Structure 1
Amino acid sequence: MKKQNVTVDKIILEGELTYKDVKVLHYKIEYPKFTGIFFQRMLGELNLLYKARAITFQQTCVQQLLCEASKQYDEAVSNGYPFHMFEAYIVFEVTYNCDCTISLYFDKYEYKGGAHGATVRSSDTWSLSKECCLLLCDMFPSSVSYKAYAMQAINNQIAEQIEQGTGFYFDDYQRLVARYFNQRSFYLTMEGVAVYYQQYEIAPYASGIPVFILPYELGCVLRPQCR
């Protein structure tokens, strides 16, 4: 089948919630809506999935986060110190949209006062032709130990960054790379497979979310195909 890109629209749910006539929480939730000539059933299922996830997080904001923000507001007023409005955001980026495959990641950011907020990344890679969600192991031939290959490549990249002074990681990063390795923590790019770790897992907060590209390589890292 000829490569066929899918059209991606961004849907936004946004609101500001008040407590005692004071704005205590702002949320903004982005989620994708897919359309295309092919794979319409699969795209429809994905649209329902991501809409449901967005609504679920919106309900979390309205119920749980608003309750937390209200309690913190009362505490701030009682103790005479300033209240900092809570924030909750979800943004997404489609990183691969061809070869009958859609890959994307979501960053969920929450700020609940303090010095800074926290971001958690999640991702999905969908084979539209097979109608399934792919795991990292699916991007390697069965003859390759994907976990050993990925961790060796990641450790090599970290060592190179440390030597060049372009990356900052915890001293025991090799142990942490193995401990927090998750075959769902990846997405596809045009250059290769991007494997990522969450904040604080292998590096300080200032390093953000570490991402490591495993370039497509014949016989090792497979590029998606329409089949």
Structure 2
Amino acid sequence: MKRVTPTFKKTTKMMTAAVLTAGLLLPTTALLGTTDANAATVTASAQATKNVKVTWNGKAVGANAFQAASNTYVPVKALAKAAGLSLTYDKTTGLYMLGTSPNKLTLSPYEGQVWIGAGGVGLQAQGRVSGGTMYVPLSVLRDYAGIDGAWNASTKTVALKPAASTGIKVTEKTLKKTNNGAVIDIRYPELSGSAAGIAKINATLKQHAETFLSDFEKQVEEFGPLDSRDMHYEADGSYMIAYNKNGLLSVVTQDYGFYGGAHGGTVQSGYNFDVKTGKEVTLAQLLKANPNHRSAIDKKIAAEFKKQGSLLEEGSFKTIGNAPGFYVTNGGFTIFFQQYEYTPYAAGIPSFDFTFASLLPKGTNPFAGM
């Protein structure tokens, strides 16, 4: 199974599904290991079936799901109605919005598929369109939409309900303005709750957004006005909450800047916080039960790069190093690299998913040592 983290960014011009398709069908990197979140659906989808019942808090939603390609696909409109989730459509962009921040999904149907973004950050997982109805994977609902789902093989039913509260509320903050022809829309999360580390986490995330804004404005001032009237400088900051359990909060940010030319550029960051202290957790801390984890990860990533033939220079990747970019997910963790770091721009942000179970001794709790 393949994986890539595409970068979806808005422009002030009309963006259609066709434009999204052209920009998001990118060469892919690898999904290394099967996530726990997908384990049930991998087994259940061995025999594709369309007769999958869906319930919300024990009540039928009025439309069936179906299983295919190692996942269960849930009907969007029926789910939104049953769960009381907001579902809106923007005629200008052709985008649907399901839910509210920080559990908002952006949906863009195209050619029988549905591109999905979490908080504006593009996901590898795609939805489906069948019979004029949009469907999204159960794994996406569990990972990014604040929904728990359990599969009952005997009744062929997916039971959905709101995810249990972690005691941390996420509110979206915005730095938004138009400055000398530059369009600025930077969004970042602000937390509230009783955890001792929240104030420190908020300060870090706010500083990240303000630094992006400051650096962008300095660049615009240095470059001067754009020659073309059809273009403008643009700063767009987005984020998604990748994990919020077991005392760890994982946040992914994407900072997109356009300064003229053929295209802009995106920088992705992964923040992994211990909510008790507000300190960032390293990958080495999570994998300390395996002193050889880096070697194992390096080998798998190098092998996948070689298989793809996507490196700018053959053999240029050697190691993830002491401080790789990563974020935690329900199934494990994702290591990523920046645009142009090892691959051409068209490759997006190369990302590699690993399960904790594939790297740690059986029964190890990666969060125990935080």
Instruction: Name the CA distance, whole Å, in 2 between partners of 1:110 and 1:182.
Output: 28
Instruction: Give the AA of the match of 2:203.
Output: L
Which segments of 5 or more consecutive residues in structure 1 lack a partner in the other structure?
163-167
Secondary structure of 2:236's aligned partner: strand
Instruction: Name the CA distance, whole Å, in 2 between partners of 1:107 and 1:173.
Output: 27
Asked whether the 8 Å contact 1:157–1:212 carries over to 2, the reply is: no
Indicate which of 335, 348, 351 corresponds to 1:195.
335
- Partner residue of 2:121? none
- Partner residue of 2:186? 29
Residues 58-112 of structure 1: per-residue CA shift (max 9 Å, x gap): 33344x133135x243xx3xxxx54620111111111010001001111111111
Question: How many Å apart are 1:215 and its aligned residue?
Answer: 0.9
Instruction: Give the AA of the match of 2:361.
Output: G
Structure 1 residue 185 and structure 2 residue 325: aligned? yes
Secondary structure of 1:133's aligned partner: coil
Instruction: Give the AA of the match of 1:15.
Output: K
Instruction: Name the CA distance, whole Å, in 1 between partners of 2:340 and 2:368.
Output: 35
Instruction: Give the AA of the match of 1:188.
Output: V
Instruction: Name the CA distance, whole Å, in 1 between partners of 2:237 and 2:335.
Output: 20
- Partner residue of 1:66? 220
Instruction: Name the CA distance, whole Å, in 1 between partners of 2:277 and 2:179.
Output: 42
Instruction: Name the CA distance, whole Å, in 2 between partners of 1:91 and 1:214.
Output: 24
Instruction: Name the CA distance, whole Å, in 2 between partners of 1:5 and 1:140.
Output: 26
Instruction: Name the CA distance, whole Å, in 2 between partners of 1:157 and 1:219.
Output: 24
Asked whether the 8 Å contact 1:5–1:100 carries over to 2, the reply is: no
Worse-superposed segment, 2-11 or 201-210: 2-11
Alignment length, in residue pairs? 204
- Partner residue of 2:276? 129
Instruction: Give the AA of the match of 1:43.
Output: I
- Partner residue of 1:206? 346
- Partner residue of 1:15? 177
Instruction: Name the CA distance, whole Å, in 2 between partners of 1:173 and 1:6.
Output: 45
Instruction: Give the AA of the match of 1:58.
Output: L
- Partner residue of 2:240? 93
Which structure's residues are more often helix, by fraction?
1
Cα separation, partners in 2 of 1:197 and 1:14, compared to 1, 3 Å: same
Secondary structure of 2:211's aligned partner: helix
Residues 99-156 of structure 1: per-residue CA shift (max 9 Å, x gap): 0100111111111110011111111111123542111111212542232121112123
Instruction: Name the CA distance, whole Å, in 2 between partners of 1:8 and 1:175.
Output: 39
Residues 22-69 of structure 1: per-residue CA shift (max 9 Å, x gap): x2x111111111112x31x3101211222233233333344x133135
Secondary structure of 1:60's aligned partner: helix
Asked whether the 8 Å contact 1:5–1:97 carries over to 2, the reply is: no
Instruction: Give the AA of the match of 1:12.
Output: T
TM-score, normalised with respect to structure 2: 0.50
Which structure's residues are more often strand, by fraction?
2
Instruction: Name the CA distance, whole Å, in 2 between partners of 1:58 and 1:171.
Output: 30
Structure 1 residue 44 and structure 2 residue 199: aligned? yes
Instruction: Name the CA distance, whole Å, in 2 between partners of 1:72 and 1:93.
Output: 32
Instruction: Name the CA distance, whole Å, in 2 between partners of 1:140 and 1:48.
Output: 27
Asked whether the 8 Å contact 2:267–2:338 carries over to 1, the reply is: yes
What percentage of aligned pairs have identical amino acids? 22
TM-score, normalised with respect to structure 1: 0.78
Which segments of 5 or more consecutive residues in structure 2 lack a partner in the other structure?
1-163
Asked whether the 8 Å contact 2:201–2:279 carries over to 1, the reply is: no
Cα separation, partners in 2 of 1:114 and 1:175, compared to 1, 3 Å: same
Instruction: Name the CA distance, whole Å, in 2 between partners of 1:3 and 1:27.
Output: 33
RMSD over aligned Cα atoms: 2.7
Asked whether the 8 Å contact 1:141–1:222 carries over to 2, the reply is: no
Structure 1 residue 107 and structure 2 residue 261: aligned? no
Instruction: Give the AA of the match of 1:147.
Output: R
